[in-house]
Each structure stands twice: as structure tokens, then as C-alpha cells.
Structure 1
Amino acid sequence: LSRGYGGRLEGPIRVDPAAHTAADVGDEPLMLAQGSPVWIARDRVAGASAAVAGGAQALVLDDGHQNPALKKTISLIVVDGETRGDEWPFGDGSVFPSGPMREPLKAGLARADAVVVMLPTDVEAADPELLAVFGALPVFIARLTPEGPPPSGPQVGFAGIAKPWKVERSLKAAGCDLADFVPFPDHAAYSAENMSFLADRAAVYDAGLVTTEKDWVRLTPDQRAQVVAWPVVARFQDQAAFTAFLNDWLQSAR
């Protein structure tokens, strides 16, 4: 159940990958709908009602921690576990618009039931100082891992996500022969000029074009024919422990 970032449709509506575009429903809902039922709605309650009417027995809310409209059975905070200079761990702790936080950290953690720390594949363990921030909350470590190898041969990569340099590093770590990499703004809509520029870069290196699934769904069918999507999936360091945690909460809710 998502708000449908950037989409022109407000919902509630079930996302249909065969009928909708990223411009309709947003890139993340469209990407997720490739494998699971997804509803978008500006109104969380209306969206939840539509999903339940459509047969949903459990709802996973995207980006719903600060929205009080629906009572949550479990609230998970997902944290970037890579520490980088003054970004660590939550900037200077200031709340928007003077800082990166949507609310004070203490208030957000007080409503959370657990924390998921996302680590790069080449970082062995989370920083102990970061883990200490979460106090007694359960912490689960996860990593975005490739579902398969990157395409063979020279490649020009591109990505329009919050931290595109992570895609570049991940491709290199996976063994991609990355000739060049072009970053774009998050949720970027790829124009004909953008694609022409990328095609020219690929021609310079006699290379293919590779990007993320999230970027790929924002392309037109003709553009997709020129680009390979490189899918990744979140895998937990201790999948059994995370599954048991979820099952305990769901059983208690029933």
C-alpha cells in the first residue's frame, strides 16, 4: 500500500503493470507490482479499505511511519547502515526543513517495534555506534544483493535514485565491466534527450546500458528495449530470526 510517488493517479487503485505507467502510479508501486499486489492511495484509510475489499489479508505500508491514519500491527524503521562523514547517522538530527529528519529521532524510535539496518554487500558488520542509537529495539541486518550477475561486456550504467553512487559501486563489486556511470536525480523522468545522451555514451565505449529495476520501469517500452535492468533483492543476515519476529507479532494481533 503506497502513496504512489510522482504518479498522476490518486487512487485508491490497484496497480496494473500491463496497463499503468510510472507517470500514472509512481515508479516504486509499478516496480513492486511486478511480483505482488499493490494499491496506491493518497488517503491511507481509503487505500487500506480498497486492498481489503480486493482480498488482502495483511497490508505492508510504504513510508507510513509518520502517518497516524492507520493503526499499525508492526512498525519497522529502515536505516541506511553505511556511515559517511556528516551524514552519520541522521545528519545533524534537525527536523525538516532545517534538516533531514521528518520528526525527532527519539519520537520516531518510540513508536517503532524494530529496526532494519541495510548494509552494502561489501561491509561486514554494522557500526556499533550506530546500533547503540537504537537502544533495546530489535535490530535486523539486511543487504541488497543481486538476483543475478550484471550483463556481460562493457556497460554504461545510470540511475536516478537517492544515492546513485551506490548503484555504481554495486555494479563494480558484482564484476561489471563498467565503462562509465551517469547519475540522475531521484525519480527522474527520462526524456528523449537523456536517452540519446546515454546511447551516445554507450556508443563511445561500444557498451550496453544497464540500470536499476526502479529506473527501468520509468522508461518507455522503446527505451526499455535498449536497456538491461539489473534486479537486486533485500536478504536478511538471519532470515529465520526476522521471519519468527514477524510471525510472533502477527499471531498476537490475531
Structure 2
Amino acid sequence: MSRVEQRLLEAWYQGGPVPWWAAALEPAYRLVAAMRRSAYRRGWKRSGHPGRPVIVIGNLTAGGAGKTPLAIWLLQALARNGRRPALVSRGYGGAEPAVPHRVAASDPPGLAGDEPLLVLRETGVPVWVCRDRLAAARAAVADGADVIVADDGLQHYRLRRDFEIVVVDAQRGFGNGRRLPAGPLRESVERLAGVDAVVCNGSGPHCPAGSLRMTLSGSEAVRLDGGARRALASFAGGPVHAVAGIGHPERFFALLEAQGLQVQRHPLPDHGEVPPGALAPADGRPVLMTSKDAMRCRGSAAAAAAWEVPVAATLQDGGAPLLARLATCLALSEA
């Protein structure tokens, strides 16, 4: 992680001073974001709807809050109920194609992006990537989808939506409450009042009132070459290297420590490349990484002996309150 990124994170979440240049740019960001949203509201910029229900999962802050695990949970719930869901994504970290591309399991992460590949692997539902999510949604509907789930599309107003879900990190919340780049916020916290559901990921003091709790859990590790599977607790005999290129790496490190592991931390930028040295450390200790990192390391000979730690989302009350709201709003049968 660069010094600039580290300074910003300290300012956003740890009470550190905001760099002068970040404070100077904050008003410009506020103005551009407000003008862009107003342009869609007034019809100056064109938006559209694919003709099937659209569920958007997003957050108010830059970086991850647990959107992808929630998207996987929701897609699986919809599929269990006999729906034909599809996921649409920009495919950040990949090629972000200008025309819709249906992701294939054989796609390299440089084409499809790590998160779309992970969703495809975990759910088997069609996944479409395109920098224009409306185009991706229309392609998915033409391909047979009867409900669209958009991962990280809250601020993509070109795609009109029927149901909005905001994910909040229970530990970090909204940081210092300031807009980018002086703070982590893409939009004002008041935006929560206009969404259909708020899901709070993890345990911590920053869950908005009325939000639905979600936890991420994992108890096993799978070697990237597919040759072995081990209980996480079996790594507790000595130190391990932990690699996390996600929005909040500390969440992954805490998960490992909760299993009794001694963790040597290797935080990376969200979607960041894993350095070769981190895959084959000189001390020969095991390397554990998130599923997103594992997607980016697919096919790497150096990563073959590293371990992926899959996690799954569990929602409060089995997610029944969220599914009930969806059923009411979208006329979807409950899973």
C-alpha cells in the first residue's frame, strides 16, 4: 500500500489529519456528484430499465463493505426459489469492456475482474460485465434472466433500479463523515433514508438503526492447486502470512486470528496485484489469502501452494426480513 493510500486511510478512519490537497478537492467532488445525480433526475442524462426487476447492492463509501458476499447470498436465494437471476458488474480490475461480455469460467481476471469470476464460481448464475451496466442488464435479460442483481452499482444512475440495498461496515462505518477524497463517502449519509434496505456487515458500533445484520464466516482453507483442504484451526501451530487485497483487510486478518492463527499481515489495495514475494516467502510459512486474491492468482505457478480462505454470508433471521421486503416491492416469491 502506498504512503498516500495509507495517509488517506488514517485520515478517514483513524482520526489522522486530512491532507491539504484532499480537503481542497472535497468541494469539487461534492459539486460534480450533485450535478451528475441532478442531471439524471431532470432527464438531462438518459437512464433506462431492462424490463425485469433490478436489485442494486452498493455502499456509500469507497472500498469494500461486503457487497460481493451479499450478492452471492442473494443470487443463491433467488435461484433456490426458481428465479433466473443474473449478476451485472462493471468488472473493476478487469478490462471493463465497452460492450457486454458474459463471463466464462475460463476468463482471465484481467478480462472479467476478480469479483465477477468469484460470483460465477460460487453461484453458477450468468454474470455479465460492461462499463455500461444498463447494457449489461439488457444483455442478461435477452439471455433469459428474469431478475437482475447489480453489484456495486448504487451510484450508476444510468441503470434504473427497483430495489436498493446499502451495505455498511460495522467496524468502520462512514469514517470521518467527509466526502472523497477528504473522507471515504461517495454520497451523503442522508442517502440511507432513500434506500430500501441497509445491511450491516460484522460486529461493531456503526450499524445504522433498523439495519439487518450480516456476518462472514469461514473455517476451512483450500490450496490453490486444488490438492488439499484443511481446517483453518490446523494452521494455529505457527505464524502464517495473510494476504488481503480487499476494501477492509483487517476483517480478513481478524477472521484468521479468531481461529487461533498467528498472522503476519500483508494488506494490499482493493483488487491489488499480489506481489510474487508474498506468494513464496523466504521463510516458507503458509500463505493464506481471500477468495478475491485467489481469483487474481489463478494459474500462477508461484501461487499453487498458497491457500484460499472462502467465506460465506449469514444474515440475521436467515435473511427473511430482506426477502420479505423484496417480495413485497418486486412481487417476487420469497425464497
1:65 to 143, 149, 154: 154
**Structure 2 contact 243–288 (Cα < 8 Å) conserved:** yes
Residue 251 of structure 2 is aligned to residue 162 of structure 1 = no
Return the alpha-carbon distance in structure 1 between the equivalents of residues 96 and 116 of structure 2. Answer: 12
Q: Kindly indicate whether structure 1 or structure 2 has the higher relative contact order, using CA contacts under 8 Å at least 6 residues apart.
A: 2
> How many residues are treated as equivalent by the alignment?
228
Who is 2:289 aligned against? 211
Return the alpha-carbon distance in structure 2 between the equivalents of residues 45 and 67 of structure 1. Answer: 9
Percent of counterpart pairs with the same letter?
Answer: 36
Residue 312 of structure 2 is aligned to residue 238 of structure 1 = no
**Structure 1 contact 161–185 (Cα < 8 Å) conserved:** yes
Residue 234 of structure 2 is aligned to residue 152 of structure 1 = yes
Who is 1:226 aligned against? 305
Return the alpha-carbon distance in structure 2 between the equivalents of residues 66 and 111 of structure 1. Answer: 13
Return the alpha-carbon distance in structure 1 between the equivalents of residues 148 and 90 of structure 2. Answer: 13
Shift of 1:41: 0.9
1:45 is paired with a residue whose SS is helix
Residue 268 of structure 2 is aligned to residue 184 of structure 1 = yes
Shift of 1:91: 2.5
**Structure 1 contact 213–230 (Cα < 8 Å) conserved:** yes
- Large movers: runs of 4+ above 3 Å: none
1:67 is paired with a residue whose SS is coil
Return the alpha-carbon distance in structure 1 between the equivalents of residues 96 and 332 of structure 2. Answer: 36
Who is 2:192 aligned against? 109
**Structure 1 contact 156–201 (Cα < 8 Å) conserved:** no
Return the alpha-carbon distance in structure 1 between the equivalents of residues 245 and 259 of structure 2. Answer: 20
Which residue identity lines up with residue 231 of structure 1 in the other structure?
P
Return the alpha-carbon distance in structure 2 between the equivalents of residues 237 and 62 of structure 1. Answer: 21
**Structure 1 contact 146–232 (Cα < 8 Å) conserved:** yes
Return the alpha-carbon distance in structure 2 between the equivalents of residues 66 and 73 of structure 1. Answer: 14
Return the alpha-carbon distance in structure 1 between the equivalents of residues 219 and 138 of structure 2. Answer: 33
Q: Within 5 A, what are the aligned runs for 1:89-128? A: 89-106=173-190, 108-119=191-202, 123=203, 127=205
**Structure 2 contact 280–303 (Cα < 8 Å) conserved:** no
Return the alpha-carbon distance in structure 1 between the equivalents of residues 91 and 181 of structure 2. Answer: 22
2:152 is paired with a residue whose SS is coil
Who is 2:134 aligned against? 45
Which residue identity lines up with residue 141 of structure 1 in the other structure?
R
Return the alpha-carbon distance in structure 2 between the equivalents of residues 151 and 45 of structure 1. Answer: 44
Shift of 1:94: 2.2
**Structure 1 contact 202–209 (Cα < 8 Å) conserved:** no
Unpaired runs of at least 5, structure 2: 1-87, 221-230
Normalising by structure 2, we get a TM-score of 0.63
CA offsets, 1:66-98, max 9 Å, x none? 222222111011000115xxxxx3123222233
Which residue identity lines up with residue 225 of structure 1 in the other structure?
A
1:188 is paired with a residue whose SS is coil
Call closer, same or farther: CA 1:68–1:185 in 2, change over 3 Å. Answer: closer
**Structure 1 contact 151–210 (Cα < 8 Å) conserved:** no
